[in-house]
Amino acid sequence: MPSNIEAIGSAIDVSAIDSVQAVVCDLNGILRGKRVPVNQIEKVLSGGIRMPLSIVGVDIWGEDIVGSSHVFANGDIDGICASTGRGALPVGWTLKPSAVVPLWLVKEDGTPFLADPRQALASIVRQYHELGLKPVVASEMEFYLVDPEPDHAEPPISPYTGKRLDSDAILSIDELDDFGEFFSDVYAECKRQNVPADSAVAENGIGQFEINLIHSSDPLKAADDALFLKRIVKGVARKHRLAATFMAKPYGGRSGSGMHMHFSIIDADGNNIFDDGTAEGSDVMKHAVAGLLRGMEETTLLFAPHFNSYRRLRPDTHAPTRISWGYENRTAAIRIPGGKSSARRIEHRVAGADANPYLVMAAILGAALVGIRNKWMPAEPTSGRAYQGKGASIPSEWGAAVTAFENGSIVPEIFDAELRAMLIACKRQEIAGFAEQVTDFEFGAYLEIV
């Protein structure tokens, strides 16, 4: 075995590590897999690792889905874990340097397992390529740094002042300076893993930040980058005795964390087909907007997949609540940013930072493609405050979003039946799990009153 293994970001010195993590991404956006001795890394990279196909469909607590056809009905069969082509990614924030190898699932006959979220996105990308088109995508990831000691969300203590943060400070340079060493380490790890991190800003909430990723014409890599940025941020935070959370709403009364997706589409000649030389954008762009709007109710489950997700989708919170679009309008679900017409693009603002980047991107690109194929046109864009208006509301309750996903007419054009069945069963099991819990707040409210 060679002393160094090439990773996309940098070469890994095998002598410095004793194991690698072979991982796949489940429907909740959680990496699951195996710790493998480093002398078996070539086996991992060559598709020699197998895992149950059911692993992508477990619930948020890692439990099998009761009654799942992928568990006991068929013997919980294995799939082949193929390399995504990303190679081995160096991990530098652990006590001892290690590496992680991203994998995705294929069936025994070599065909993609389309319930694997990365395979689901790949299926949509292939459809674009068959039309001679290439999506160009980028994401903006918001998160909170919190104190790791309490059992509830508590703002962190500034390493610079020694005082706990106590005020919202949007675009605060001082707050970025307070956590300068943390951000320096995040950017260093991003460079090692070839995650193209761009600007970082302080957001609306106490200890809330945003890191933008540079746009890419490879949506699979862009989704990989979003997933691994989250892992890097959380890992580096632990190293600095902090905790990082991508929960959609860690504080009930403060801003939620979103994962805004920007995209345009280029043709075989490299032209942006959303650009017609005007500020309004081309008819093709409007077809894409119409597809996103028509599919929004039934795809909300991909953008808000968890119990906590729906605390974010509230009026006047910088998160959308209505199925709407507008030019330079951050209160709308779909925003068309200004700027040069050559950079005309769509910003999708519904997804929370807690969502799975592969499924978010697949839902957005898939619904846009349905609109383009059908040449749908959207209603008039919204001007001003989009929280009021005639448009339908984005589902504001978890169970309603699951039902809309299950009964939707556009979702089957985007996602394979196997993925849909696994996701619905997963979410219904999670809903049942939360319904059984009595919170301290609930207990205190009713203990001696009723």
CATH code of residue 324 = 3.30.590.10
Question: By the 8 A CB rule, do 246 and 230 touch?
Answer: yes
pLDDT in tens, 427-449: 999 999 999 999 999 999 999 89
Range of the domain at 20: 8-114
Q: From 114, 144, 174, give the residue that closes a domain.
A: 114
Q: For residue 437, tell me if it sits in a domain.
A: no
Strands 98-106 and 89-91: antiparallel
Q: For residue 427, tell me if it sits in a domain.
A: no
Question: By the 8 A CB rule, do 389 and 148 touch?
Answer: no
Which tokens sit at 262? Answer: 């920007």
Of 137, 126, 112, nearest to 364 by C-alpha is: 137
Residues of the chain with confidence (pLDDT) below 70: 1-15, 72-75, 167-173
Rounded CA separation 355/136 (Å): 20
Instruction: List residues bridging with 39 in a β-sheet.
Output: none
Q: Are residues 283 and 379 in the same domain?
A: yes
Q: Are residues 106 and 134 in the same domain?
A: no
Q: Are residues 129 and 110 in the same domain?
A: no
Crossing angle for the helix pair 219-239 and 117-130, nearest 10 degrees?
150
Long-range contacts of 93-98, Cβ-Cβ distance < 8 Å, separation of 24 or more? 93/185, 93/189, 93/232, 93/235, 93/236, 93/238, 93/239, 94/235, 96/16, 96/17, 96/18, 97/13, 97/16, 97/17, 98/17, 98/19, 98/20, 98/21
Per-residue confidence (pLDDT) for residue 276, from 0 to 100: 96
Which tokens sit at 400? Answer: 């309603």
Per-residue confidence (pLDDT) for residue 9, from 0 to 100: 41
Confidence (pTM): 0.94
Per-residue confidence (pLDDT) for residue 72, from 0 to 100: 64
What percentage of residues in the chain have a pLDDT greater than 70? Answer: 94
Q: For residue 319, tell me if it sits in a domain.
A: yes
- Rounded alpha-carbon distances, angstroms, from residue 450 to 437, 444, 446: 19, 11, 6
Rounded CA separation 308/233 (Å): 20
Per-residue confidence (pLDDT) for residue 227, from 0 to 100: 97
Per-residue confidence (pLDDT) for residue 2, from 0 to 100: 47
Looking at the structure of the chain, the number of domains it has is 2
Per-residue confidence (pLDDT) for residue 357, from 0 to 100: 98
